[in-house]
Amino acid sequence: MAIMRKKIAFALRRLVTVSNLLESLNDAYGYGRAMLLPAPLGYGKFNGESLTYGQCVSFTNLVCEALIRRLDMKKGERVLIISPSGAELLLLALAVIKGGGIAVPLDHRLPLRELRNRAEGCGAGPALIDGGVAARREDILDIPPRAGRVMICGPGRETPRGFLSLREALEEGSGFFLPYTLKPGSVVGLFHSSGEEGSSLAVMATNRMILGARRVASSLLPGGPGDAFVSALPLTSLVGFSCALMGLCAGMALFTPPGGGRSDVLGALEGSGAVVLMGDARLFRELLLEDVASRGLSSLRLWLSAGGATGELVASLRSRGEQGMAPFRLAPPFAEIFTLAESTGALALKLALPWVGWPERWPGVVIPPNRLKVVDGSGRKVKRGEEGCLAVKGPAVTPGYWNNMEYTLESMREGWLHSGVRARRGRFFPAVLAGNGPARNGGHGRVRAAE
């Protein structure tokens, strides 16, 4: 009960923002473990197998000083972050936001042309690029549009000639920095999503989108300080980034597996004694190929999906994960967070229990004050039983797309985001059919088969 009271008290704090999140967590949960590291970060005193909240605060403070002093980062400036390490990428992004910048995390595996298009599209200035990635792909250092504002990060790497070293810059810092004050609607990150014909959209993520509903939902997670939260979602995506912060808000120790395959995830679960696993439908399908019940995952108390899980998948996975002795075998609960194609934060939540089925096509219980409705091409609500486009409104919805006013105006109408997701209006809730993101041309986007 004491742990639950701590989590609820943190969820109800009014002044917690993405910029001061680590300081608030340190105040709420003390110097417990904040992160479990698959490999050391390689920065002096931050080189252990785990990091406490206090160490995370110190590290981000030092990075803030380095960004402002060495790269001349300004308020509201977009900062590229390219790192294969999930823990490092998350800390660097929080440091950028703490200093008043806008984090732009990019996947290092993307083709060079796509990386350059995304960097130029968001008008990025400074850049933090992992030295290992730069050694394998030397041309990646030419991506930032403004020369002389690139800093090399990562463990044990020689800094290319003519570039700054984050490791050296951290040694010169004082470790003291006051987080930048954010409003609920302040843009803190740009996360890329696919638009029409493969084009890339830079989705503006606000402080409220990332933390709002997930901070409240964190109080419902099983476990607390010291327990491991394994997130297998890429931190370069909005859902992956915000779900990682949700685990931290519960006081849990975040672990991000270095790879996205089932062997990496199972190794992380066994090694960390995880209580919660956050993944997507693809990962859970792959886990069905493993004998989950015999892998020593008795500590796991919740499967958490980012979307796309069918009733058959949930039933199969839970039957494989049953624990205990007959006739009292129970599988961990399975929950899913409903979002829309990287354009929203958490909109709804649904849960499968041993005695409750998994309603197909139901988005879940809508998290207030967000609202969902099914509309036609003109934006009017359809009649019961008719199909249309799912429109959403609320604090979880993006304010728009960076440097793409035309797309923003066509997708946002009177405060409602026309998602491009096909849905049918039901008696009590909309039934989601299929779709893939923000819509244009009358509110109906391209359609793909539902998972």
Rounded to 5 degrees, φ, ψ at 371 are -135, 145
User: Smallest Cα–Cα separation from 278: which of 288, 290, 269, 267?
Assistant: 269
Q: Are strands 412-413 and 365-366 parallel, antiparallel or unpaired?
A: unpaired
Which tens digits make up the pLDDT trace of 253-310? 999 998 777 888 888 888 778 899 999 888 888 887 776 655 656 778 888 998 888 8
Is the domain covering 19-181 a CATH 3.40.50.980 domain? yes
CATH top-level class of 205-435:
alpha beta
- Contact yes or no for 435/420 (Cβ under 8 A): yes
Tokens, residue 148: 């002389």
Q: Is the pLDDT of residue 326 over 50?
A: no
Alpha-carbon distance of 245 to 263, in angstroms, equals 24
Which tens digits make up the pLDDT trace of 98-109? 999 999 999 999
Q: Please compute the mean of the pLDDT values over residues 316-320 and round it to a whole number.
A: 73
Kindly provide the b/e burial profile for residues 160-188, where b requires at least 16 CB atoms within 10 angstroms of the residue's own CB: eeeebbbbebbeebeeebebbebeeebbb
- Element (DSSP H or E) covering residue 166: helix 166-170
By three-state DSSP, how is residue 337 classified?
Answer: strand
Which tens digits make up the pLDDT trace of 180-202? 999 999 999 999 976 554 567 89
pLDDT computed for residue 249 by the predictor: 94
Q: Is the pLDDT of residue 233 over 80?
A: yes
Confidence of residue 175 (pLDDT cuts 50, 70, 90): confident
HSE at residue 316, side-chain half, CA atoms within 13 A, is: 14
| Residue type at position 416 | W
Adjacent-strand bridge partners of 337: 349
Q: Among residues of the chain, what percentage have pLDDT more than 90? A: 39
Q: Is the pLDDT of residue 21 over 90?
A: yes
Q: Please compute the mean of the pLDDT values over residues 153-163 and round it to a whole number.
A: 78
User: Smallest Cα–Cα separation from 69: which of 172, 143, 147, 191?
Assistant: 172
Q: Domain residues of the chain, as ranges? A: 19-181, 205-435
Adjacent-strand bridge partners of 335: 304, 351
> Pick the residue with more confidence: 85 or 197?
85
> Pick the residue with more confidence: 325 or 320?
320
